[in-house]
Structure 1
Amino acid sequence: MLFKILVILHTLGATVWAGGHLFLAVTVLPQALKNRETDRIRQFEQYFEGFGLSALLLQVITGLGLTWIYLPGFRDFWSFDSFLSVYIGIKLALLLLTLILALHSRFFLIPKLSEENLNFLALHIVAVTTLAVLFVIFGAGIRLGGLTISF
């Protein structure tokens, strides 16, 4: 039962995190860039930041719990000899990249947001959104037993 609860909570966190960033990238950002309005971005960040970061934290906690279930005691995690350890490793790398971009954005871009650096913030938004979608893809890959590409 714990496994199912963790999967559901992890999926809800992913829904909020990825969905929020997709909404930002597809609806808010284009209008902000078109009209050169930084207020649209600030307003979205103001409302989404706490909720989004809570969802990301939920994903981290449940992800660690799921990893513990999949690889008890994190045994064989660092061996990367199974799709599972590889996918979990990829998700951790995606998390690290997300945290780096989020911290840079939060402490360096958002406080000084202006029309001049709006395009640079847009690149950050697209990057974080791409990482969020990759989180979902690799998470689905874990549940599906790996994703293979064949032509």
Structure 2
Amino acid sequence: MALHHIYLIIHLLTAAIWVGGHLILVIGFLPKALKNNDFSYIQKFEKTYEPIGMPSLLLLVITGILMAYNFGSGIGTWFSFSSSIETVVSLKITCLLISVCFAISAQTRVLPQLRKGNIKKLPEMAFHIISVTTLGVIMVILGSFVRYGGINL
């Protein structure tokens, strides 16, 4: 089995954990939190999910970068949209960077307020969660294009 194939398997498994976890949060926990105006639903999920979710995200990023390099799309070519595979890589990195911005916003602005009991921030937190989940699904879809040679813009 080629090293690239091992990277791909790890990438797919960690994507399933990362995106799947967010889908469970959006579909299973967020509606209850919003309906009951209760942040604890989200907190309980995150306490269970984060110990596996965050390492999965780290492995996801590492294997994604390694596979990008295997495809000849090193950091020097990112955002050049010079090939169909590099276009997928650049679009996925863009989604990742936007997700990081949402995470920073949630960690620095929204979560501290919710932890202090400011439940009025719950809809904003829901927006952050739905946005990161949507970006994760988009990244999965973008990754599927590699199988067919990438995306030509």
Give TM-score scaled by structure 1 length. Answer: 0.90
Unaligned stretches of 5+ residues in structure 2? none
Q: Does 1:128 align with 2:121?
A: no
Matches within 5 A, 1:47-86: 47-71=48-72, 73=74, 76-86=77-87
AA aligned to 1:116 is K
The 1:4–1:38 alpha-carbon spacing in structure 2 relative to 1, beyond 3 Å, is same
Residue in 1 that maps onto 2:32: 31
8 A contact 1:71–1:77 mirrored in 2: no
Give TM-score scaled by structure 2 length. Answer: 0.89
8 A contact 1:10–1:59 mirrored in 2: yes
More deviation, 59-68/40-49: 40-49
Looking at structure 2, the residues matched to 104 and 75 of structure 1 have their Cα atoms a distance apart, in angstroms, of 29
Query: Among the aligned pairs, what percent are the same residue?
Result: 37
Looking at structure 1, the residues matched to 76 and 105 of structure 2 have their Cα atoms a distance apart, in angstroms, of 33
Residue in 2 that maps onto 1:141: 145
Looking at structure 2, the residues matched to 75 and 126 of structure 1 have their Cα atoms a distance apart, in angstroms, of 32
AA aligned to 1:39 is S
* Cα shift at 1:82: 1.5
Instruction: Give the structure, 1 or 2, with the largest relative contact order (CA under 8 Å, sep 6 or more).
Output: 1
Aligned residue pairs, count:
148
Looking at structure 2, the residues matched to 14 and 75 of structure 1 have their Cα atoms a distance apart, in angstroms, of 25
Looking at structure 1, the residues matched to 73 and 98 of structure 2 have their Cα atoms a distance apart, in angstroms, of 26
